[in-house]
Structure 1
Amino acid sequence: MLKEFREFAMKGNVVDLAVAVIIGAAFGAIVTSLVGDVIMPVIGAITGGLDFSNYFIPLAKNVTATNLADAKKQGAVLAYGNFLTLTINFLIIAFVLFIVIRLMNQFKRKEEVKPAEPPKPTPEVELLTEIRDLLKKS
């Protein structure tokens, strides 16, 4: 059973999937940083210094905090600012993946359209061609 599992785990598809998951997680962290550290501050500056990550609606009556972290400690809150930030993350990731897949498809189409080079003639065919050409000259 262990041998069978090892064969399964070492198949190309499983290893490729593992690499894709790891790269996807790293890419997700990059996009999260891009949105949280670059895009949202710019949007906040444009909208007058608003911080979307601290937008919430208190669901418990005793929530009096003004930031999300403290509000969660006091009771249930509906953190729609976090949802907005994660939605922007998703849209950026989806857009980037769309562009990457589109470019890959264009590249594949260019490869398919590219005519194949004719095969090189064998040495025997080259020799026969030379003999034919010499006979034509004489």
Structure 2
Amino acid sequence: MPLIDEFKKFIARGNVLDLAVGVMIGAAFGKIVTSLTENVIMPVIGWLFGDIDFSTYFVRLGAIPATYKGSLTDYASLKAAGVAMIGYGEFITQVVNFLIVALVLFLLVRSINKMIEKVQRQQKEADAAVVAPVDPQLATLKEILEEMRRTKAV
């Protein structure tokens, strides 16, 4: 039972729950980025470079089975037939996915850092603006000292 109690404490910690939420949001964000890449960005890149479909770029490594009747340029069919291939077009798509995620995370962290710096700067300004109350006796003594300095200078 102590192990179960310890596990309950571990799960109940805020960090574990925050991490779980972060993983779920990350998975959902990953799907959005994949859709953005496959359905928006890669078609635009393909259009710019002459209707290139990066997902069909591959290098065939193995022999094509004698029973295969499909196209020799159809990556999905060749893969389904068990032909050994390097699908570097899909790799290019995944690199674009990674770069999009990295850019979004960079912009997010950058924005958060700027907000933190702004809050810290405002806090420093607020701390500097707070003036300690002056003791009236101390103020009177400072005035006397200043008067004494003026009379000696004359």
With the length of structure 2 as denominator, give the TM-score of the two structures. Answer: 0.72
For 1:1-138, what aligned pairs fall within 5 Å after superposition? Answer: 1-62=3-64, 65-74=72-81, 75-114=83-122, 115-116=125-126
How many residues get paired? 119
Any unmatched runs of 5+ in structure 1? 120-138
1:14 Cα deviation after fit: 0.5
Distance 2:27 2:20 in 1: 11
- Structure 2 spans left out of the alignment, 5+ residues: 66-70, 131-154
Could you say what the CA RMSD is over the residues aligned between the two structures, in angstroms?
A: 1.6
**What is the CA deviation profile of residues 77-116 of structure 1, one whole-angstrom value per residue up to 9, with x for unaligned ones?**
1000000000000011001100100000000000001133
Q: Distance in 1 between matches of 2:19 and 2:99?
A: 23
Q: Which amino acid aligns with 2:72?
A: A
Larger radius of gyration: 2
The separation in 1 between residues aligned to 2:9 and 2:60, in whole angstroms, is: 53
Runs of 4+ in 1 over 3 A off after TM superposition: 115-119
Question: What's the offset of the Cα at 1:45?
Answer: 1.0
% same residue = 47
